[in-house]
Structure 1
Amino acid sequence: MTRVRVLPEAARIPGRHETEAALELAQRMPRLVLEARRVAANLSHGIHGRRRAGIGETFWQFRPFVAGEAAQRIDWRRSGRDDRLYVREREWEAAQNIWFWIDRSASMAYASSLARAPKVERAIVLGLALADAFVEGGERVGLLGLMPPRATTRIAEAMAEALVADRAALDDDLPPQAPIPAMDEAILIGDFLSPSGETASAVEAISSRGGRGHLVLIADPVEETFPFEGQAVLHDLEEGISLRIGDAASWGEAYRERMARHRGSLEDLARRRGWTLTVHRTDRPASEAALRLITLVAASRGAGSGRR
């Protein structure tokens, strides 16, 4: 029989165990993958190589104008040759940061006997490991609404400390609606069980200035399959309400259909905003999702640099 449990609130605060696990995961990632990402970034930027923040005013590229930017940024000569508005981007503006958000709300405390780790533990470990890998690859990493981008070799520890201090976020199941610059990327890690419209509002706000992003949906195997029969009691960990059902097996079919519709709405959201959606089950190794995200970020950087 599949057993489930709900972790105490303290388990949603990263400690030494999660931080050490994240660093161990980052160390296990093939360094060839990170090197391949550096090579891909260099190739995508052509002979100019990778751009870094600086004081230069050297022209780098044209990119489409994003609603909300100052009109004086528009290059009218370039825009006059097309039916779109373009911004003349200079080298110092091309710095790229990666912003993380890690869901630690009550629903993330759910864990079943089929999982290798609770959802919140997997989300924290995955986020910290990716941050360590990206900094190793030359990126700057920050936490949305919590910590500015940094390139410290102790990024995992810095993020863990920031998360520990932010106890208010234990009640937030959606990321802060903080827009990121056009050249930056966001990686949002959570179960995204909130109504899809609320998730869409958050994603649209974050990407309103043209920033790209990735949704990483963490799911327990039980949430995917609903393998229950007979009498069952369902608990809403966010709202604190319960529902008793008499025939879990027949009810499960409707549950799976509703979850499929919800997942479809998230896929549509990601597609409309030009983001990606990665579904990661906690019965799978964390390294699978980590390597996929590294590949997706490398691909998005290549696509972004091709805008002229």
Structure 2
Amino acid sequence: MAVSTRLIDEHKAVRSAGLQQAALDLAEAMPRLALEARRVAATALHGLHGRRRAGQGENFWQFRHFAPGEAAANVDWRRSARGDELYVREHEWDAAQTLWLWVDRSVSMNLASNLAQTSKLERALVLCLAFADLLVQGGERVGLIGLARPTSQRAIIEKFALALMAAAPPAAAERGGLPERIALGPRSEAILIGDFLDEPEVTGGTIAALAARGARGHLLVVADPIEETFPFAGRTELIDPETGAKFQAPRAQDIRQAYEARLAAHRDALRAITHRYGWSMTLHRTDKPASQAVLALHPLLQQGEGI
């Protein structure tokens, strides 16, 4: 018993030291990630449009030409008096909607194989900050689940970067790869970014809680290419980064088909869960540019409906 207790204490000490080092690494990397996020947002912005549109609201949006058949009361006579055309003042559609972002900071997100451009964690952070910047530029209010209240400040990248760094102590990282189970508002929309390797029913429970009041959402699944292709052959030792458990495969190629089948079943289960709640799921590999994920997911935000 004494030996077992000592080994458990040593494991906890090593894990705690590792998490503290991860927090320091994140703080060191964050300025670089913030710059990358700003570059990704600028690259994607050329092909994207904000979600602002005409409708019932109090804020002026734009002038448009008066259309034949419209009521004369719609004409903005002050603007029309400047020229020979009739103009109508349109107001911005106002649904008091808030977008919430969340990033998985669990240990499994540190994976960065030699086939990837970066680790899953760094890519997830870049995507989170890039989405925040794009959404604020589009006139949205954006928050970080459990970390930062919704805001439309232009300095959103710096604000969220500080919040994410402050949330990296061991106690936060040990909570695992899913956000807190809180019910978001009915006019809320969430983007959850992570690898979602928990059992599908666990992820489903989190989605059910977040969507309990009608909030919509999207899973952005970040994967390393070796997780998708399983390029191993011969004697291979596989290690679970969360628990430290090890598995020896004498001929790794012999289990590739079973691995691929299990991964496909896991993804199918996640898609079924997201579909059940009207959410969407998008896969992004870390050997692809971050802008691809932004361009793939942003149209779903514009549509106002999941897939």
Report 1:1-308 matches (<5 A): 9-10=22-23, 11-12=25-26, 15-34=30-49, 37-38=50-51, 41-42=52-53, 47-48=55-56, 94-167=95-168, 168-171=171-174, 172-300=176-304
Shift of 1:49: 6.2
Shift of 1:257: 0.7
Secondary structure of 2:298's partner?
A: helix
- Per mean C-alpha deviation after superposition, the further-off stretch among 269-278 and 9-18 is 9-18
Gaps in structure 2 of 5+ consecutive residues = 1-17, 61-91
- Structure 2 vs 1, CA of residues 181 and 51 (structure 1 numbering), >3 Å: closer, same or farther? farther
Q: Which has the higher contact order (CA 8 A, sep 6+)?
A: 1
* Letter in structure 2 aligned against 1:142: G
8 Å CA contact 1:105–1:169 kept in 2: the answer is no
Give the Cα–Cα distance (whole angstroms) in 1 for the partners of residues 172 and 40 of structure 2: 25
Cα deviation digits, residues 242-262 of structure 1 (max 9, x gap) = 111111001111111111100
Give the Cα–Cα distance (whole angstroms) in 2 for the partners of residues 138 and 123 of structure 1: 23
Q: Aligned-pair RMSD on alpha carbons?
A: 2.4
Give the Cα–Cα distance (whole angstroms) in 2 for the partners of residues 242 and 97 of structure 1: 43
- Structure 2 vs 1, CA of residues 93 and 136 (structure 1 numbering), >3 Å: closer, same or farther? closer
Shift of 1:48: 2.6
Which of 1 and 2 has greater Rg?
A: 2
- Structure 2 vs 1, CA of residues 226 and 180 (structure 1 numbering), >3 Å: closer, same or farther? same
* Letter in structure 2 aligned against 1:27: A
Cα deviation digits, residues 160-183 of structure 1 (max 9, x gap) = 101111123322211111111111
Secondary structure of 1:114's partner?
A: coil
8 Å CA contact 2:99–2:140 kept in 1: the answer is yes
Cα deviation digits, residues 210-259 of structure 1 (max 9, x gap) = 00000000001100010100011111111121111111001111111111
Shift of 1:31: 3.5
Secondary structure of 2:146's partner?
A: coil
8 Å CA contact 1:51–1:94 kept in 2: the answer is no
8 Å CA contact 2:56–2:94 kept in 1: the answer is no
Aligned to 1:3: none
Gaps in structure 1 of 5+ consecutive residues = 1-5, 53-90, 304-308
Q: Give percent identity, aligned residues only.
A: 42
Shift of 1:30: 3.1
Give the Cα–Cα distance (whole angstroms) in 2 for the partners of residues 197 and 270 of structure 1: 11
TM-score under structure 1 length normalisation: 0.77
8 Å CA contact 2:57–2:93 kept in 1: the answer is no
Cα deviation digits, residues 116-172 of structure 1 (max 9, x gap) = 111001000011001000000000110111111011111111111011111233222
8 Å CA contact 1:180–1:209 kept in 2: the answer is yes
What is the count of residue pairs matched by the alignment? 252
8 Å CA contact 1:101–1:175 kept in 2: the answer is yes
Cα deviation digits, residues 85-106 of structure 1 (max 9, x gap) = xxxxxx9993011101101110
8 Å CA contact 2:57–2:94 kept in 1: the answer is no
* Letter in structure 1 aligned against 2:154: T
* Letter in structure 2 aligned against 1:162: A
Give the Cα–Cα distance (whole angstroms) in 1 for the partners of residues 295 and 93 of structure 2: 29
Give the Cα–Cα distance (whole angstroms) in 2 for the partners of residues 98 and 159 of structure 1: 14
Give the Cα–Cα distance (whole angstroms) in 2 for the partners of residues 297 and 208 of structure 1: 19
